[in-house]
Chain A
Amino acid sequence: MKLLSRSEEIILLTILKLGDEAYGVSIRQQIEQDTGSKWSFASIYSPLDKLTQKKFTSKEAGESTASRGGKRKFYYQVTHVGKEALREIRKATDQVWSDLPDTAL
């Protein structure tokens, strides 16, 4: 299986962290908090689309609010396959980081 890209990884983890409250705005906010850098919506949406297409995440329509001009929220959930992919990248990352001489960094 192809490994996740860094942005995909971050997004998947953020969704997991947010639980039931993962939708566009909250995902972006959380990432901003965690990474400290500003992400544009466009840079969130295209990995999200790819993830959804690969069935790593699922998407479900939620309630509509007045602040959204009557438009519904769409909540994201990490699927079984998505979690599997996350475990895989974790393993790979750990592998890469392991055995690093202490003086290297």
Chain B
Amino acid sequence: MFKKHSLPALVLRIVLGDNYEERSGDLDELYKELLKENGRLHATTWHSLQILKIIFKTTFSYFIWSLLMFASYIKTAFRNLKRHKNYSLINIMGLSLGIASCMLALLWVQDETGYDRFHTNLERIHKVYSITEYENVQQVNYNASYYPLAALIKAEIPEIENTVRFMTYSNIQLRAGELELADNAMCFADPSFFDIFSFNLIIGNKNTAFNERKSIVITQSTAAKYFGTEDPMGKTINLMNRSDLIVTGIIEDIPRQSSFQFDGIAPFNLISPSEEAQAEWGGNPFHTFALLIPGAEVSSVKGKIDQVVQRQKESQGSHHSFPLHSLQKYHLYMPDGSGLNKTLLILSLTASFILLIACINFINLGTARASTRTTEVGLRKTVGATRRDIIKQFMGESFLLILIATVFACILALISLPEYCQIIQKQLPLSNLLRGEVVLGFITILICTVILTGAYPSWIMARCQPVTAIKGAALPGNIQIIFRRILVVFQFVLSVLMIIAMFTLSKQMSFIQHTHLGFETKNLLEIYLPNNLKPQYDAIKTQLLQSPDISNISMALQNPNRMGSNTSAVEWTGKNPDAAYTFNFEAVGFDYSETLRLQILEGRAFSKEHSTDENSAVIINEAAAKLMGMDNPVGSSITVWDNKATIIGLVKDFHCRSLHYSIEPLVFWIDTDWPSNMYLRISPNNQQKTIKFINETLNGFQPDTPIRIQYVEELRMQRNYQTEQRMGIITQFLTILALVISCLGLLGLATFVVEQKVKEIGIRKVLGASPIGIMFGLIKDFSRWVIIAILIAIPMGPFLVNKILATYAYQTPIKPDLYFITCIIVLGIACMAVSVQSLRAALNNPVNSIRAE
């Protein structure tokens, strides 16, 4: 006997259906008797054997019969496929393209949703970020934290079990013995890091690993890289030529699907400033994560953090709040809902649209040709097939076709996978294809497709009356024809919308590329100055300027198109003392505005001739002047971080961030220590030679230091618009697919209609119709529906365009010609698809078509 919910019980229940109670009862009764007489072993064996026999007997006959019938269905399906090669080709092509797109989309989605799942505390880990509301702007800082925050909330809020502060840096130089590599990613974290996240130590103790300030925990592969087979514990690793760290632990390599990637971890206080400085409430770019106690309400914790911090921190007119962002969502969502999830959503939607369009082709071609198959259905019905059998047959047929399409889709997907990985800039291992979720998702897609494509045609077929069907009088009803046309219109509406989206995206990209940012990005180089080169900046500058191809050199803290530093500590006369405003700021070297070709509207640029420029002079942009209400700002004085400074220049507004953001107030000043990026304006000629010269010069100052020289223009496109560029390529590709598949469907329908009308056309020709007239008649018939689709889609266009451009503060103007071109393209391609068939029909000799009969 078995338990009520065991697997055999379940199987028996399924097999026996209504008879389950009776029969398992019978079995149980005898089992008990046998148990008494012959013992457990005998009884159990007997019981299981009986069950097996029952299962076998019950299912066997069912299987045999359905298999025989199925074989017959498959046979007719194959015959049909072969007889109508064109239609089969159109269907299989469309479906396999659609399925392949869905497969690739699914593969990416699956990979991205699998991030960070290895943390055992996943549900309880939250990032604390900050929102500051200033008078002029609401500033959301996903990556800014305050030094005292972590300790404070851990102590004050009972729902918070633990907190950690950490920061990751890439391109960190580490040296052990002879080996020096500069491409390490380092994490600097509080010791609680190991308690909260599941980065497990293989060797070493997580509680004592960071007891010493100068210690480091490295990953297995880093250990292998630096120490080979030697025991790394207790060995010394030098960090950035500054401090020697002792290896106190080894962790497993970081999983590929982790939001945080690093080769080594060192204590947080290695990089944090002095104790007094840490007591300050200034925003800094590191992470604060909190581990909540099990069962804690996230919403109640949020409010408590705000309250606790408000008691400690003076706010000076600005309003702070500290929302939580769950680690579960960390990889896919930004707290405001944007992020990778949008990209994935758009991709999955477009891929499903393509499959949908292919399914519509299948449905349309299937129902259009229904009349050619009614004889068969009628015969089957007369011989005794029920409606269910007919439905089964036609569902089976679509299943077969989709199975064939799937095989092609798999091949297509495998071929395009490397290219796809390159576009989305991600390594998707092939083995992912066999993961449970992927297989499951894929089977779901297939089942949906089978149902979607099979349901309507098989219903139509099952409905037909045998008598009329065999007589051949069953013509499709009006409703069917209208339904078919609605589907065609729907296909083309989707295609038109996708084309509009594609054009909008590419227009915006070219707008981004061609907008003048307010400074010259072309022929501008950015060179990162390592710490050991920084003191020699002046000498380097003098030597580099000797080249005729280098016209200006300066340096700055941040890339001029990716400024992120800001401060609210700017005071001016006439400022509302209760309000707080935020300013972008940039610390630069001399010749900055000349190097970037910034336009100075009033006053002058920084100059070495004025001795006060280095300590008490600032340049502001127009937005800053407007915010401070200064009509003639030059000469006025402001206070930045308690230093009094004179405004010596007003610079024309330029885009110091990507075009997603509007231009915000900006303050420049001279600082010779802080900046670590050097900017060079080079001539458009001999750039290879110039770069070689720069490399040689810098190596002359510091041999063996790797130098990174990058074009500001390239950096700008790569870093600011990477998502858009990726999406641009993918949407372009998918849009073309959608249009091609839609037109294939139209071609199929046209072929069919021409076949049907072959006699009509013949008679028309005999009666004197010209071939051109006939051709246009046919084209008109089809293009009507495409035109209706265009008329429906175009009014939706502006809405779509707005949606796409909504994330940009600066948008490309969309002129009506975009819609016009879209219409022409769609109509043109659709007419082309139809005209081939029409032309053939029109040129056909009427004798051939009317002769028969």
Contact = CB atoms under 8 A, between A and B. Distances in A.
B118 interface: no
Contacts of A41: 23, 26-27, 50, 53-54
B28 interface: yes
A72 B22 contact: yes
Nearest to A46: B57
B30 A71 contact: no
Given A42-B50, A42-B54, A42-B57, A67 B28 contact: yes
Looking at A64, A68, A72, A73, the one whose CB has the most chain B CB atoms below 10 A away is A68
B19 interface: yes
B21 interface: yes
Contacts of A67: 28-29, 32
A43 interface: yes
B783 to A, nearest CB: 58
Interface in A47-89: 49, 59, 64-65, 67-69, 71-74
A74 B22 contact: yes
B120 interface: no
Interface residues of A, number: 21
A70 to B, nearest CB: 8
A5 interface: no
B50 A23 contact: no
A41 B522 CA distance: 87
Interface string B8-36: 00000000000101111111111010000
Contacts of A59: 22
A68 B29 contact: yes
Nearest to A76: B22
A69 B32 CA distance: 10
Contacts, number: 62
Nearest to A44: B26
B15 to A, nearest CB: 11
A41 B32 CA distance: 16
Interface in B46-64: 49-50, 53-54, 56-58
B1 interface: yes
A2 to B, nearest CB: 18
A54 to B, nearest CB: 16
A40 B50 contact: yes
Contact of B28 (A23, A28, A42, A68): A68
A73 B25 contact: yes
A25 B26 contact: yes
Interface residues of B, number: 20
Interface string B445-477: 000000000000000000000000000000000
A23 B23 CA distance: 10
Contacts of B1: 69
Contacts of A23: 22, 26
A19 B241 CA distance: 100
Nearest to B50: A41
B57 A45 contact: yes
Contacts of B23: 24, 41, 45
A68 B53 CA distance: 20
B25 A42 contact: no
A46 B29 CA distance: 20
Given A40-B53, A41-B50, A42-B53, A72 B58 contact: no
B54 A71 contact: no
B19 A71 contact: no
A82 to B, nearest CB: 19
B50 A72 contact: no
A72 B21 contact: yes
A41 B1 CA distance: 15
Contacts of A71: 21-22, 24-25, 28
Contacts of B28: 67-69, 71
A43 B54 CA distance: 8
B510 to A, nearest CB: 73
Nearest to A71: B25
Nearest to B2: A69
A73 B19 CA distance: 11
A60 B22 CA distance: 10
A72 B56 CA distance: 24
Contacts of B57: 42-43, 45-46
A98 to B, nearest CB: 36
A40 B50 CA distance: 7
A1 to B, nearest CB: 21
Nearest to B32: A67
Contacts of A42: 50, 53-54, 56-58
B30 A45 contact: no
B54 A45 contact: yes
5 contacts: A24-B25, A25-B30, A59-B22, A68-B25, A68-B28
Given A24-B22, A67-B32, 13 more contacts: A40-B53, A41-B53, A42-B54, A42-B57, A45-B54, A46-B58, A68-B25, A68-B28, A68-B29, A69-B1, A71-B21, A71-B25, A71-B28
Interface of B: 1, 19, 21-30, 32, 49-50, 53-54, 56-58
Interface of A: 23-25, 28, 40-43, 45-46, 49, 59, 64-65, 67-69, 71-74
